Amino acid sequence: MRHPYPIREIARQAGLSEATVDRVLNSRGGVRESTIMEVHQAIKDLDRQRTQVRIGGRTFMIDIVMQTPDRFSTAVRNALEAELPSLHPAVVRSRFHFRETGPASELITIMDKIAKRGSQGVILKAPDLPEVGAAVGRLVAAGIPVVTLVTDLPSSARMAYVGIDNRAAGATAAYLVGQWLGDRPGNVLTTISRGSFRNEEEREMGFRSAMRVAHPRRSLVEVTDSDGLDATQRDLVLEALKRDEDIVAVYSAGGGNAATLDAFDSLGRECAVFVAHDLDHDNTRLLSEGRLSAVLHHDLRQDMRRACQTVMRAHRALPDEGPALPSAIQVVTPYNMPPGVSS
C-alpha cells in the first residue's frame, strides 16, 4: 500500500508494533485480517490529519458570479453560508456578484475585474456563450480556478462542473408528467428562462426526447426568454394559453412558476400537472400549497460545499478525489420535503 509515512508513525497511529506494520505493508503474511485493516485505517487517518494540518488557518477568498433571478441567488448565498462550518479548519470568505438580467458583457466585465484583482477561485453561473468562455480562459490564465454551478460551460477552461445531469432531469420530468396525465388529452407547456443557459436547454432537450418516445401525440408548447422574471413570465404564459386552449400541464425548466400559475388562474384554466426545479422560497410555498405536483431538487448546500472543496483542490489544499459524479436528483412532493426546508 503506497503511503508517505514512516513505519514508526503508522505503528504509533495504529497502536501496533513496527514489526507488525512492516509485515502488513510488505505482505509477508502471518497477520490477522483485522490487524491488516487496522494498519490500512491508520494510514487513512494519517492522510486525513495531514489534510487538516495543510488547510488549517488558510483563508480562501472565493468570488460567486451569477446571472440568475434573486430567489435563486438568495438560495445560493444561504446554502454557502450554512456550509461554511463544514469547511473548517479552512476559512472561506466570499464576494457575491449577482445580477438578474442584462447583456453578457456585464458579466464579462465582472470576471475581468476579478482576473486583475485576484481571487482564490470563481464559482460561476453564466450563459454558455463564446465570449463568456473566453473570459473564463482569462481567469484561468491568471491562476484563478473556475467552477461552474448548476449550468455548465463545457468548452471553456473551467476546472469542474457541479450540479445535476440536466438531460436526465428533463427525462425524469417527462416520465412524471406522462404518468400523471395518463390518458387525459392536452398539450404541455415548457418554460425556460433563456436558451443560452445550457442547463435549461439540456433539461428541455431531455424532456422533449423522452416525451417524443413515450407520448408522441402530445404537443409541446414553448415559452422562453423571460429571464425567469415574474412580470415577463406571466405575460408570455398568458399569450401561450390564449393561443392554445389545450394546454393542461407545465414543465418548468427555469423559474417564474408563481407567475405561470397566476396566468392560468387569471384565465380560469386548470393546470393538471406542474413539474418544476429547485426548492427555492417560491417553489417550496407552491409545493406545500399543492399548486406544484413535484419539484426536481438537488442539495444546493452539498453543491456549494463541493464547489468550495474543488477550489481548495486546485490549490493542493485537499487531495484529488477523481472525477466528480453529478448531484443526485430528488423528486420532492408535498409529503417528502427535505428537513429544514420551509416556505
Distances in Å between the alpha carbon of 309 and those of 48, 72, 207, 280, 321? 14, 21, 32, 24, 10
φ and ψ at residue 263, rounded to 5 degrees: -65, -45
Are 58 and 138 in a shared domain?
Answer: yes
Distance CA 111, CA 165 (A): 26
pLDDT at residue 28 in the model? 86
Strand pairing category for 59-67 and 121-125: parallel
Q: Tell whether 176 and 287 lie within a shared domain.
A: yes
* Pair (201, 86) in one structural domain: no
Q: Do residues 170 and 290 share a domain?
A: yes
Please indicate, yes or no, if residue 278 is contained in any of the structural domains.
Answer: yes
Are residues 133 and 245 part of one domain?
A: no
The answer to whether residue 71 is domain-embedded is yes
Region of poorest pLDDT, from 48-52, 202-206, 245-249: 48-52
d(Cα 81, Cα 124) in Å, to the nearest integer?
17
The more confident residue out of 3 and 194 is 194
pTM over 0.75: yes
- The DSSP output letter for 84 is G
- Residue 41: the pLDDT is 86
In this predicted structure, the answer to whether residue 100 has a pLDDT above a threshold of 80 is yes
CB 11 within 8 A of CB 18: yes
Return the pLDDT at 298.
Answer: 92
Cα–Cα distance between 28 and 25 in angstroms, integer?
Answer: 8
Q: Which residues pair with 54 in a beta bridge?
A: none
Q: Answer yes or no: is 23 within a domain.
A: no
Cα separation, 141 vs 115, in Å, equals: 9
Together in a domain, 312 and 267: no
Q: Is residue 81 part of a domain?
A: yes
Number of domains in the chain: 2
pLDDT digits (tens, 9 = 90+) for 135-186: 999 999 999 999 999 999 999 999 999 999 999 999 999 999 999 999 999 9
Same domain for 130 and 244?
Answer: no
In a domain? residue 190: yes
| Shared domain check, 193 and 135 | no
Residue 240's domain spans which residues? 166-297
pLDDT at 342: 61
Distance between first and last Cα of the chain: 51
Same domain, residue pair 115 and 222: no
Most confident of 93-97, 270-274, 298-302: 270-274
The residue among 85 and 266 whose pLDDT is bigger is 266
Report the distance separating Cα 271 and Cα 258, nearest Å: 12
3-state secondary structure (DSSP) of residue 277:
strand
Whether pLDDT at 292 is above 70: yes
pLDDT-based confidence at 50, cuts 50/70/90?
A: low
Q: What percent of the chain has pLDDT over 70?
A: 96
Range among 11-15, 35-39, 236-240 rated most confident? 236-240
CATH of the domain at 244: 3.40.50.2300
Q: Do 147 and 207 sit in the same domain of this protein?
A: no
Residue 252 pLDDT grade (very low, low, confident, very high; cuts 50, 70, 90): very high
